[in-house]
Amino acid sequence: MHFPDDENGQLLAEIADAGVDLTSMQTIDFYILFEQKPEAEKFAKAITSDELAPSTELTKCPDTGVWEVITRVKMVPEHTLLSQTEQYLESIANGHNGYGDGWGLMAEEE
């Protein structure tokens, strides 16, 4: 497979090289960071009500003290769709003083 020459393309290439089937549905974790817990909670509540991303987890990084909302989206990890989803989540996060910190996926256990 060929991937665009950008950060998402590089990550997709690494995932494909690891043997993950990028043509099937995967659970993608999008990471959104916040300095303040109330803002993270408001974002988590807003995004949980969105049909795109009904699953979220709020954690605090023990090293940095930054609050992280992990938003899980089930999708086929295609470059354009990943980029659009990332931008969409970040646009909502920006309204709550949050910012995107990338995405990742865990290969499904067989």
In a domain, 13, yes or no: no
**Alpha-carbon distance 32 to 22, whole Å?**
23
Rounded mean pLDDT for each run of 10 residues along the chain, 110 residues in total: 90 93 93 96 89 86 91 92 94 95 74
Contact (CB, 8 A) for 43 and 109: no
In a domain, 18, yes or no: no
CA angle 101, 11, 83 (to 5 degrees): 60
In a domain, 11, yes or no: no
CATH number at residue 35: 3.30.70.970
In a domain, 10, yes or no: no
CA angle 19, 25, 31 (to 5 degrees): 85
Q: What pLDDT score was predicted for residue 108? A: 57
pTM: 0.89
In a domain, 1, yes or no: no
In a domain, 109, yes or no: no
The total number of structural domains in the chain stands at 1
- Structural domain boundaries enclosing 97: 25-104
